[in-house]
Amino acid sequence: MSSAPHQAAFDAQPDVVEADPSEAQPELSAALTPAAAAVAPFASTAALAPARHTHKFGGSSLADADRYRVAVGLLDDGSPHRIAVVSAMQGVTDALVALVAAARDGQDWAPAWAALRRRHLDTADSLDPHRRHATRAVLEAEFDALRGALERVAAQADNQFAAALPGLGEVLSSHLMLAALGGEAAGWTRLDAREVLVVHPGEMGVGVDWALSRERLDAWRKRHTGRNVVVTGFVARDSHGRDTTLGRNGSDYSAAIFANLFDADALTIWTDVDGVLSADPRLVPDAVCLPSMSYAEACELAYFGAKVLHPQTLAPVQQRGIPLRIRNTRNPHSPGTLISLHSQADGAPVKGLSLVHDLAVLELVGNGMVGVPGTAERLFGALRGAGVSVTMISQGSSEHSICCAVRADQAQRGRAAILAAFADAMADGQAQDVTITPDICVLAAVGDGMVGLPGVAAQLFDGLAKARINLRAIAQGAGERNISVAIGARDATRALRAAHSAFWLSPQCISLGLIGPGKVGRALLAQLAAAQPRFQRDSRLDLRLRALADSRRMHLAPRAMPFDEAGEHFAADAEALDLQRFAEHVRAEHIPHALIVDCSGSDAVAAYYPQWIAAGIHIVTPSKHAGAGPLERYEAIREASRNGGQFRYEATVGAGLPIIQTLRSLLDTGDELTEVEGILSGTLAWLFNRYDGQTAFSELVREAHALGYTEPDPRDDLSGTDVARKLVILAREAGRSLSLDQIEVESLVPESLREVSKDEFFERLHELDAPLQQRFDAARAAGLSLRYLARLDRDGRASVGVVSPPPGHASLHGALTDNLIQFRTRRYADNPLVVQGPGAGPDVTAAGVFGDLLTIAQTLGARA
């Protein structure tokens, strides 16, 4: 199997953005001026700057007079010999092409010509205000010649000029650059590439007549002895002396050519991006700037769509071993991407990922092809004859079929050519059919680090499998620098993000969303902020908070929010709550894992759990609505978690206490639960630990409310419903299908006070006292005390209410607000297992949520 590059894929990728600041060299750059720092990545000190340094400036780097001045500063790099290859000003080449088209079509091209002329003359006046370099006069002469040529094109009398016209922008730009640099008085000379560069057409694009070009350059240099040269990019002449160009994006190619011809020691291509990115940043927000690449890696990526590189640019510099660096004129302190013979080892076997769009797969199937020599030659000969470009080839060892990816607009032509070539084989039944699979993309993973390294393909395929990507065909060359896979076009973005995650992000990178930034939510964010440095240092855990929501609004962040600044982001940029969009944003395809923390206490949010978990989103919550809600929903959550995300809810029963974890451990190790009993409300624990019959129970309720131990309406605690929900969760965890309406719940709120307003309830709070005083007196007469306990017996009977525990019962010895649970099992039959500790408060509850989050992270491989 092999993978064949094709130039048609070149324009598939956009320019890339943002280098990783961690790749910078502050200790070097700080010692240099901004201009001198431009050369710093090539040497350890400014004194070791390249003897001959070729710079190329793209159109976006020469958009106006100010950008020319910036370029001048970048050229002040300490090199004794500098060559500046320039593109046309931004947008000029397109404008010239449009002028020719208008002239050919008989349209009025004069206004566009005048606007283009004015733009250049204004720039000349800014760069050469005193006309010391006669820049304006030179440009006026060029535009006069352009006007005459357009008149001839309109008269159908100058097709040759029309073909060469797109290169005029570079000619104009070279005059502007020379003026900006100070001209010959400053040691600069201008070289029109058409005087020396001779090219000819070839199958792989424009080829260079190196011997003749070098001979002409040597003659030119004898006539021009200046050390520094401004060179027109993009333009050349053919062997007949006619003006021509190197094709679109040919300025990079011409820069590499002149770096070779001038025997340069380094080439820097200045553009509007920081370097070569690991993937298209429009599709992969976490794409990273590559600090270095080998020529081989760069060639693979160029042919497979990395727009920042022209496919032909590398050959001239590779021929002489000239290091090439891609840098950003708008961010000159960034070191960019260095391309040389060997890339720096950075731990990643893959250097870049690229997508080739608008393809189709042609497949020839035949039982009679097995073992028949020349089948592939026959197939690809037919495609060559039909002018069909092949992007990728794949054939199984059985030889039953052979397939290739081709441009979608050439698929039908390719199929017809193969059918004609195999007509005899099909007539004899040796070949069955040629099929076309449309809407295909090819994803290519490129990197020198793959050579000889086991498991790279497995890493790629595992990432794609987790993203549910079906592979239509696979190809890897013997050089092992490129693994290509054909996939459905609709899966392309998801596949690219999944592959990028597999190689560039930590396997424990988690996209995090928080619903409910109340007391518990804020406490959790504070705990995460404090722990984040430790995670990054010790645990390989990368938590990225990307979404925040309350009951009405949400904020979806394109990049991770700092945990300690999340509230500010939410307040500044919130929109209406949409839980579906919230989950889709958290489930980002470019991040391996997604987790939602629900601190809302909302049953409406809990209703989404089954579909979120089924989509692979992990959920952690202190809310009891899922665990104690409708049994049908609880079972749907459990079913979804079998093949989807994890669901953890330790904080629902005992806040930070490991109650569910303890029960789960007992059952998983084969023990049998017979009875559960305990105090599951910190509020009720405090009330009954304090109640001694001397102080009225109503006064204790008022005191607890003032201390913040109760809910805003104490009836939410006194009703026992919250305790009952916790008991339902424990029972279900033990495998019992219990619902809330099956629990006997004793409410401490008299029937007459359940529906009144909160204010009236407080006014009549004393009505709680007499019934409880009577029960307390009866218990004390028997030598007992009162406690509010939840109980699940061996027969499945569940109850919540006031009881008088026997002497020695664990509930009689707890601290004021302690939660306490005791498990009786087959192993712990006589002496129950007791879990006891603080069971209320936002910090404790947040710690329980935090613990669940870390447990999930550990299952994903984090050393948490």
**Which of these three, 489, 504, 519, is where a domain ends?**
504
Sheet of strand 833-838, all strands in order from the earlier edge strand to the far edge: 744-745, 798-803, 787-792, 673-679, 818-825, 833-838
- Tens digits of residue pLDDT in 351-396: 888 888 999 999 998 776 666 777 888 899 999 999 998 988 988 6
Say if residues 326 and 339 touch (Cβ distance below 8 Å).
yes
Which tokens in the block code for residue 791? Answer: 């109980």
Q: Which of 13-22, 57-66, 600-609, 618-627 has the lowest mean pLDDT?
A: 13-22
HSE, side-chain direction, 13 A CA sphere, residue 715:
17
pLDDT at 13 over 60: no
In the prediction, which pLDDT does 23 show?
31
Dihedral through CA 205, CA 206, CA 211, CA 213, nearest 10? -160
pLDDT at 40 over 70: no
In the prediction, which pLDDT does 438 show?
95
**Which of these three, 473, 504, 535, is where a domain ends?**
504
pLDDT at 546 over 80: yes
Place of tokens 């349209």: 107
274 vs 485: CA distance, rounded Å: 28
Same domain as 239, residue 115: yes
Q: Is residue 274 part of a domain?
A: no
Q: Which of 185-189, 453-457, 711-715 has the lowest mean pLDDT?
A: 453-457
Same domain as 257, residue 389: no
pLDDT band at 153 (very low <50, low <70, confident <90, very high): confident
Mean pLDDT of 829-850: 88
313 vs 295: CA distance, rounded Å: 10
In the prediction, which pLDDT does 539 show?
72
Active site residue 726: yes
**Percent residues over pLDDT 90 in the chain:** 60
pLDDT at 36 over 70: no
In the prediction, which pLDDT does 309 show?
75
Q: Is residue 760 part of a domain?
A: yes
Q: Which of 7-11, 476-480, 488-492, 849-853 has the lowest mean pLDDT?
A: 7-11
Q: Containing domain of residue 828, as a range?
A: 659-840
In the prediction, which pLDDT does 138 show?
96
Mean pLDDT of 10-22: 30
- Tens digits of residue pLDDT in 318-355: 999 999 999 999 999 999 999 998 877 665 678 888 88
Say if residues 368 and 428 touch (Cβ distance below 8 Å).
yes
**DSSP characters over 455-482:** THHHHHHHHHHHTTPPEEEEEE-TT-SE
- Tens digits of residue pLDDT in 230-274: 999 999 999 899 999 988 668 899 999 999 999 999 999 999 888
Q: Provide the residue count of the chain.
A: 864
DSSP helix/strand/coil, 357: strand
Same domain as 186, residue 86: yes
In the prediction, which pLDDT does 613 show?
95
Mean pLDDT of 81-100: 95
**Which of these three, 472, 504, 536, is where a domain ends?**
504
- Tens digits of residue pLDDT in 193-233: 999 999 998 766 789 999 999 999 999 999 998 899 999 99
Which CATH number covers residue 230? 3.40.1160.10
In the prediction, which pLDDT does 42 show?
42
Same domain as 211, residue 109: yes
213 vs 217: CA distance, rounded Å: 6
Which CATH number covers residue 403? 3.30.2130.10
Show Cβ contacts of residue 332 under 8 Å, excluding neighbours closer than 6 positions: 34, 35, 37, 38, 74
Same domain as 856, residue 790: no
Rounded to two decimals, the pTM is 0.67
SS3 content of the chain, % helix, strand, coil (to 5): 45, 20, 35
Say if residues 176 and 67 touch (Cβ distance below 8 Å).
no
Query: Of 307, 351, 726, 758, which is the active-site residue?
Result: 726
Kindly report the average pLDDT of the chain as a whole number. 87
Highest mean pLDDT among 53-67, 490-504, 645-659: 53-67
**Other beta carbons within 10 Å of 675:** 16
pLDDT at 462 over 70: yes
Which CATH number covers residue 774? 3.30.360.10
Same domain as 782, residue 750: yes
Q: Is residue 273 part of a domain?
A: no
Same domain as 94, residue 176: yes
- Tens digits of residue pLDDT in 622-638: 999 999 999 999 999 99
Q: Is residue 775 part of a domain?
A: yes
- Tens digits of residue pLDDT in 93-148: 999 999 999 998 899 999 999 999 999 999 999 999 999 999 999 999 999 999 99
DSSP helix/strand/coil, 306: coil
* 329: nearest Cα among 49, 43, 37: 37
Mean pLDDT of 44-50: 56
How far apart, in Å, are the Cα atoms of 244 and each of 130, 162, 191, 329, 515?
34, 10, 16, 28, 62
Same domain as 149, residue 108: yes
Which CATH number covers residue 534? 3.40.50.720
In the prediction, which pLDDT does 234 show?
93
Same domain as 623, residue 610: yes
Torsion sign (Cα): 369, 371, 374, 377:
positive
In the prediction, which pLDDT does 506 show?
61
pLDDT band at 455 (very low <50, low <70, confident <90, very high): confident
Q: Is residue 639 part of a domain?
A: yes
Beta bridge partners of 369: none
Q: Is residue 340 part of a domain?
A: no
Show Cβ contacts of residue 311 under 8 Å, excluding neighbours closer than 6 positions: 5, 7, 10, 205, 299, 302, 303
Q: Which of 176-185, 552-561, 805-814 has the lowest mean pLDDT?
A: 805-814
Which tokens in the block code for residue 783? Answer: 């030598």
Same domain as 235, residue 87: yes
In the prediction, which pLDDT does 21 show?
30
Number of folded domains that form the chain: 4
Mean pLDDT of 473-477: 84
In the prediction, which pLDDT does 231 show?
97
In the prediction, which pLDDT does 306 show?
60
In the prediction, which pLDDT does 164 show?
79
HSE, side-chain direction, 13 A CA sphere, residue 327:
30
Same domain as 622, residue 491: no
Mean pLDDT of 770-792: 94
In the prediction, which pLDDT does 160 show?
64
Q: Is residue 118 part of a domain?
A: yes
Same domain as 145, residue 70: yes
103 vs 785: CA distance, rounded Å: 103
Q: Is residue 215 part of a domain?
A: yes
Place of tokens 């889709």: 584
